[in-house]
Amino acid sequence: MSSLGRIRSLDGVRGIAAVVVMLYHTSLIARPHLSDETWAWLTQSPLKLLFVGTESVLVFFVLSGVVVALPALRDGFSWATYYPHRVLRLYLPVIASLLVAAALILLVPRDPSTVAEGSWLHDAQATSVSLESFFSEASLFRVTYDINNVLWSLRWELVFSLLLPIFVIVASILRKHALWLGFACAALSIVGRMVAIDALVYLPVFMMGSLIAVRLHDIVEWGNRPHRQSTWLALSMTAAIFMVASWLARPVFESGSIGNLALWGLSGAGAGIIMVLAVAWPPFKRLLEVRPVQWLGKVSFSLYLVHAPILGTLGFLFGDSLWMLTGVVGIPVSIIAAALFFRFVESPSQHLSRNLGTWSGRTVAKVTASTAS
């Protein structure tokens, strides 16, 4: 991806984030059957780090900002190759995941009266599928998704991918001021939460990743210098607190209040710090590069795409009162399904999209050369 070679620690971050999102959705199935005291104990403590949902998606966004922008910074990069490759790379697995989700919905009846009103199963899981709803979600143009609930984030991945030239140009021009621009991005994300403008929440987070990409060598070199352990501890603690600040503060700032929304906005900055630690902090890098974590990183996109339909199906099949059974069965089944999805869908789609991108780049180059001559 760069002259540094493949950054394996980022694969590890991706794998852990996918697992955390899966645990988050499992917790949402359990929520209606947990007492307020138990839920507060789980969410208003450091335990919440094990199942931060939207916050972990922001980690994906920063990571995409890094790994998608890095190739664009190399000499010889071709936009004619990039666009077909990137768009197909996103859409093929998305469509396949919708086919899986639709099949599960058709095979296992979903009666909304059997689950708690206002719950994730009731409000975020489709009980039927039409051609219109299928293609609407497959377009990634919708704001909300219930055939496959996680696709809301792929919509923003698509937006960022299409706007990548702007992100790369801005990050490159302001390279020397990357730290200050990173602070500005964090501030914009906080404002976006407070005024409920999704673009203002998410796009600055992608920009954080692009800024890390343009300063990657500097960050890695900084990490290789001698540092006190207190420096790394302070950064990791700051990242952790930022990720769950809105939850820890709920006894003071109620959910939905301006104060709570402002703290929720800090999770974008937390995601950015996590990414810096992943490429700069040697012990953290080694942890992220162990074989099981690397394997999770390999199948992370597949796991992200298939786990919600599987958990949703099992939630309706067992009933949400048996949420623990849904988790005990659904988590390993989701991991196995992710491995199969990667083998038969994601990996072939990677090859196909790469080949199409290469063909497109060569074709455009030939046409350009012939026109110039």
pLDDT on residue 1: 39
pLDDT of 2 above 60: no
Residue labelled with tokens 């949703």: 312
pLDDT digits (tens, 9 = 90+) for 121-131: 999 999 999 99
pLDDT digits (tens, 9 = 90+) for 77-100: 999 999 999 999 999 999 999 999
From CA 261, how far away is CA 195, in angstroms rounded? 9
Class of residue 224 by CB neighbours under 10 A (exposed 0-12, middle 13-18, buried 19+): exposed
Task: Extract the tokens encoding 276.
Answer: 């810096």
- Quote the distance between the C-alpha of residue 364 and its chain's center: 32
With contact defined as beta carbons under 8 Å apart, do 54 and 152 qualify?
A: no
Residue in 17, 21, 5 with CA at minimum distance from that of residue 307: 21
pLDDT digits (tens, 9 = 90+) for 309-362: 999 999 999 998 999 999 999 999 999 999 999 999 999 999 999 999 999 999
Residue in 266, 278, 264, 208 with CA at minimum distance from that of residue 236: 278
pLDDT of 3 above 70: no
pLDDT on residue 368: 84
pTM of the model: 0.96
> Which residues 6+ apart lie within 8 Å of 73 measured at CB?
2, 168, 172, 213, 214
The 3-state DSSP class for residue 215 equals: coil
Q: DSSP assignment of 91-111, as one string?
A: HHHHHHHHHHHHHHHHHS---
Report the 10 Å Cβ neighbour count for 140: 20
pLDDT of 4 above 70: no
The 3-state DSSP class for residue 130 equals: coil
pLDDT on residue 5: 66
pLDDT on residue 344: 98
Residue labelled with tokens 């055939």: 147
Q: What are φ and ψ of residue 319, in 5° steps?
A: 90, 140
From CA 133, how far away is CA 112, in angstroms rounded? 18
Return the H-helix or E-strand segment holding 145: none
Question: Maximum distance among all alpha carbons in the chain?
Answer: 75
- Cα 136 to Cα 78, 161, 178, 189, 355: the distances in Å are 31, 20, 38, 28, 27
From CA 341, how far away is CA 115, in angstroms rounded? 28
From CA 322, how far away is CA 33, in angstroms rounded? 9
What is the amino acid identity at position 193?
R
Instruction: Return the ∠ at Cα 200 (arms to 141 and 180), rounded to 5°.
Output: 140
pLDDT on residue 291: 97
Calculated CA dihedral for residues 57, 63, 68, 74, nearest 10 degrees: 170
